[in-house]
Amino acid sequence: MIMILKIVISAVAYLILAPFAGGLLTGMGRRFSSGLQAKRGASMMQPFRDVKKLREKTSEEDRYLHDYYVRAFVFFEIVAGVAFFAGANLLFVILALLAADVFLVVAAYVSNSVHAHMGADYELMRMMAYCPMVLFMAAGFSMYCGSMEVRDIMIGSSMPFLPLIGIFAGFLLIYTIKSRTSPFDLSFSSDPAGKRIKGITEAFSGKTLAAMEVANWYETILMLGFVFLFFSNGTIWGHVVGAVVAILVYFLRVFINNCSASSKWEFVVKIAWGTAAVLGAANLFLLYVMI
């Protein structure tokens, strides 16, 4: 009974608090990156204002098909996050994330624009790049903590960080790829002065774009939740360290975004698969030997 209550409370807490936390983090990140460029930058509440602004835009009279699929994307992102924070199986979370990305790709295709199709191709390349590493991560947790359920990993007895350090490094790479920032921003350039064409969101406007932004906030919190998982060992110290490292990782990602140019898809796939093969597989092998 208490278990079910706990699950429901964590799920609802994530559902309500994650957009605020994600938006705030995004705002702080933008402030940080502006600071790196010696600018003053927008305020920390800017992402919320952006979303409100986008929602004010009136959509066209017709109901576009891509709006529907973007809503499906948002739905699956939220499902993934809620499942993760409710303590479900890691693989279910991964499957939900993959399904969400598939819907985003489908939405891009259905928006009937050439640029969107190119963006969708690039998004697919990115999915292909990060999928193996994410599965390795799940396997690593399963081997070290004995279970793939998030709630079991959270109460585990020792910090999975050091034994899984190769996988952690790989996951950082994956996080950069998944969040569509440089040097892996093949299809989505979020630089305010950027002159690149945003691929997948080419035909999205107004409320759809706002929904995507909010889904990105949910996803940010989920990804940082994965980082947190690497440090959880059941004690309050583990939680504190995990949260701190998660936030540091976020700012690290913003920093990398500022410092790098975009790269070609061949590079992205090669580096992601190479890292997965070398770091991930080696880590798994070492775990197998150790355990």
Q: Which of residues 132-191 bind another protein (CB under 8 A)?
A: 132, 135-136, 138-139, 142-143, 148
Binding another protein by CB under 8 A: which of 18, 125, 222, 241? 125
Does residue 221 touch another protein according to CB under 8 A? Answer: no
| Of the candidates 281, 285, 214, 286, the residue with the CA atom closest to the CA atom of residue 50 | 214
Give the whole-angstrom CA distance, residue 180 versus residue 77: 15
Q: Which residues contact 252 (CB under 8 A, 6 or more apart)?
A: 172
Report in angstroms how near the CB of residue 40 gets to another protein at its nearest.
Answer: 5
The dihedral sign for the CA sequence 27, 209, 176, 159: positive
Structure tokens at 280: 């991930």
Binding another protein by CB under 8 A: which of 8, 37, 237, 270? 37
Report in angstroms how near the CB of residue 239 gets to another protein at its nearest.
Answer: 25
Residue whose CB is less far from another protein, 106 or 211:
106
Residue whose CB is less far from another protein, 119 or 225:
119
CA-based radius of gyration for the chain: 19
Binding another protein by CB under 8 A: which of 21, 44, 124, 243? 124
DSSP string, 162-211: TTTHHHHHHHHHHHHHHTT-TTS-SS----TT--S--STTTT--THHHHH
Stretch that binds another protein, among 52-60, 162-170, 229-237, 252-260 (CB under 8 A): 52-60
Residue whose CB is less far from another protein, 240 or 278:
278
Report in angstroms how near the CB of residue 26 gets to another protein at its nearest.
Answer: 13
Does residue 204 touch another protein according to CB under 8 A? Answer: yes
Does residue 50 touch another protein according to CB under 8 A? Answer: yes
Report in angstroms how near the CB of residue 36 gets to another protein at its nearest.
Answer: 11
Binding another protein by CB under 8 A: which of 21, 243, 271, 281? 281
**Footprint of another protein on residues 68-107 (CB under 8 A)?**
68-69, 72, 75, 89, 91-92, 94-95, 98-99, 101-103, 105-106
Does residue 195 touch another protein according to CB under 8 A? Answer: yes
Stretch that binds another protein, among 155-163, 165-173, 194-202, 242-250 (CB under 8 A): 194-202
CA angle 272, 130, 133 (to 5 degrees): 80
Residue 28 sits at φ, ψ, to 5 deg, of: -65, -35
Report in angstroms how near the CB of residue 24 gets to another protein at its nearest.
Answer: 15
Under 8 Å between Cβ of 149 and 3: no
Does residue 223 touch another protein according to CB under 8 A? Answer: no
Burial class, 133, CB count within 10 angstroms (exposed 0-12 / middle 13-18 / buried 19+): buried
Residue whose CB is less far from another protein, 155 or 192:
192
Give the whole-angstrom CA distance, residue 31 versus residue 33: 5
Using CB under 8 A, count the residues that bind another protein: 92
Does residue 34 touch another protein according to CB under 8 A? Answer: yes
Q: Which residues contact 254 (CB under 8 A, 6 or more apart)?
A: 29, 30, 32, 33, 181
